[in-house]
Amino acid sequence: MRTLFDRTRIGTMRLKNRIFMSPMGTTGEADGAYCNEGIDYFEERAKGGAGLLITGANVVSTRYEPRPCTELSDFHHVERLNMLIDRCHHWGAKVCVQLSPGLGRQQFTDPFTPPYSAGSVSSFWFPDLICKPFAVDDIHYLVERVGYSSSLAVNAGADAVMLHAYGGYLLDQFHSPQWNNRTDEYGGSLENRMRFTLECIEAMRSNIPAGMPLIVKFTPHQRVEGFRTLDEGVEMARILERAGVDALLVDAGCYEEWFQAITTVYSAPGHKLDVQRAIREVVSVPLMGDGKLIEPDLARKVVEEGTLDYVGLAHQLLADPYWPRKVQQGRYEDIRPCIGCNECLLAGFSGKHYYCAVNPQCYAEKAYALPKPDGTKRSVLVIGGGPGGMEAAITARQRGFDVELLEKSERLGGTLWPAGGPDFKRDIIRLIESMETQCRKLGVTITLGKEATPETLAEVKADKIILATGSVPAVPPIPGIENAIPVTKYLTHQAEVGRNVVVIGGGLAGTEAACAIAPDADSVTIVEMLPDILATAAHCLNNDQHLRKMVADRGVTVVTGATVSDIAPDSLSYEKDGETVTIPADTVLNAVGFTAFDELEEACLAVCDDVAVIGDAVGPRKILDAIHEGYHAIRIME
């Protein structure tokens, strides 16, 4: 029987298991070469046990667009890439270098210059910019550069090369009639639309040794109405197999519904498997795939049943690089789960390096490494058992410190419980379970049901106090607000709702609550003061798209630019455009936001010189802020 940990081979590349790191963009030096942090980041994932690591897209030329991530277009880029590959090889991992002729209409760094694309279509990120179609000579130039970059990958010691031909990026723009309106040999029929890709494959094959795997990542189904359907995707797979590729990495989606391609917290496990199974039926080359396959039993199943030959993990390996080792050892409870927040993507598209909300050491493996325990005794008191408090407690025990954690409620988790309340946010509950498991395994002294007060703190003796008391729901000055239920009570299953529900506030909590209620209600209405819902969410585009689609699909009514004026026991009134509107409501949820709870800071400072206020106790923010602040508050202790 096939297993996740079989030793296999693709071409001349021998692999120690069937787990690969899916390609994800990484930042680099100003000249496009890999930076030291990027090299450390890849080495950590090699250490974690993945058999194959696939780099993000290395662009082959910057003649037509700015470099988005890393570049492999010059002999001098080889040195850093070789360092990366060598260090991964030390841990038994192989490295596949992904090459890209460009982003085309997906170019996101220059809002002033119309990008090049297959046709004269609008730019995705800057719709007012109309793309310039590539001339045939430009296409030939890029094909040559793809070939040359393949030779540079060989020089760097790559084990395989991959062509970046998916997800609505440049080659996929040529594949797609909605973006390719050409009338020359690169437009029209599917064969013509794939000509650029097939010429790239030929150029790559001419510049790599015989037997070296050449893999193509492509998108058989874009999952957007009017875009590519699976029937055409199946024919694309056949064409690619005939072109002699050694394996296919099967994707789905595009930026118009980006959440179909890059998993969000709202995604179902294995959400690309239907597409991958359809391709499995028509080609015989090895198939690679990802799409929220992070649950070990699901990953094992898709390999055992033959749907995929290789299972890809992307953001899960940011959250926990050691997923492969832990799964092989049966240590499922030690896996820190990815929560689908996509803070990693948001950081990258904002010009920063890549962050992981639940792993503060991601992309800073050496800079943020914990000092090793040296036998020095330290005591830490953590007040509050939410994500920041638990992270501080875990980190302090990892440093060998004595830790006491006080939590006033009867369970750890804090505001993660309402955040994970909807049934479509199970990933957040998994994070609570994971962090609590580590607190207990590491020996944190946990006291539940005990609230810290100035009086109880008066006798405390600790080297450091972490104040992680979180936030409380804000109460707006609306007549009749006593008739409303805090959204947290609904999300933590402490309150039931009726058939006609109004949610005051269209932020993240209010919008998710509305979506959770809608399937079982007669009507659900969000009333928001701002011009749009989710205006304060500050989350990544794919998460935003996914949640908005859920709002639409579940029939939630949205009223924006409106101010609630009165809440009665059976109705709610709001003012919009100078008019007062009253709607029936047997339940009103208050989701206007949260306020920091930091009332113990002075009492802490009275008994300890080293006090760190973290997470929502500073101000209502994100899981990332709480976890990172908890980690660093302990990391920097001397």
The pLDDT tens digits of the residues spanning 222-271 come to 999 999 999 999 999 999 999 999 999 999 999 999 999 999 999 999 99
pLDDT for residue 348: 87
Intervals of CATH 3.20.20.70 along the chain: 8-349
Intervals of CATH 3.40.50.720 along the chain: 379-472+595-635
Match domain 481-592 to its CATH number in 3.50.50.60, 3.40.50.2300, 1.10.10.10, 3.60.15.10: 3.50.50.60
pLDDT for residue 354: 85
Separation between Cα atoms, residue 15 and residue 19, nearest integer Å: 9
Regions in the chain scoring below 50 on pLDDT? none
How many residues are there in the chain? Answer: 638
Angle at 206 between CA 21 and CA 245, to 5 degrees: 45
Helix (H, G, I), strand (E, B) or coil at 372: coil
Q: How many C-beta atoms lie closer than 10 Å to residue 577's C-beta?
A: 7
User: What separation in angstroms does the CA of 466 have from each of 20, 208, 384, 540, 621?
Assistant: 38, 55, 8, 30, 17
By the 8 A CB rule, do 61 and 145 touch? yes
pLDDT in tens, 343-376: 999 998 888 888 999 999 999 999 999 998 888 8
From the candidates 41, 64, 116, 169, give the one annotated as an active-site residue: 169
Nearest residue to 200 via CA among 255, 256, 252, 150: 150
Contacts with 617 (C-beta within 8 Å, 6 or more apart), sequence order: 384, 388, 467, 468, 469, 470, 471, 596, 597, 598
pTM for the whole structure = 0.96
By the 8 A CB rule, do 298 and 269 touch? yes
Q: Chain-centre distance of CA 117, in angstroms?
A: 27
For 555: left if phi > 0, alpha if psi spans -120 to 50, otherwise beta; the answer is: left
Tokens of 41: 């980041």
pLDDT for residue 376: 86
Tokens of 454: 């100035």
pLDDT for residue 319: 98
The 3-state DSSP composition of the chain as helix, strand, coil percent (nearest 5) reads 35, 20, 45
Separation between Cα atoms, residue 417 and residue 169, nearest integer Å: 38
Give catalytic status of residue 169 as yes or no.
yes
**CATH 3.30.420.40 corresponds to the domain 8-349:** no
By the 8 A CB rule, do 466 and 518 touch? no
Separation between Cα atoms, residue 98 and residue 168, nearest integer Å: 16
Intervals of CATH 3.50.50.60 along the chain: 481-592
**CATH 3.40.50.300 corresponds to the domain 379-472+595-635:** no
pLDDT for residue 177: 97
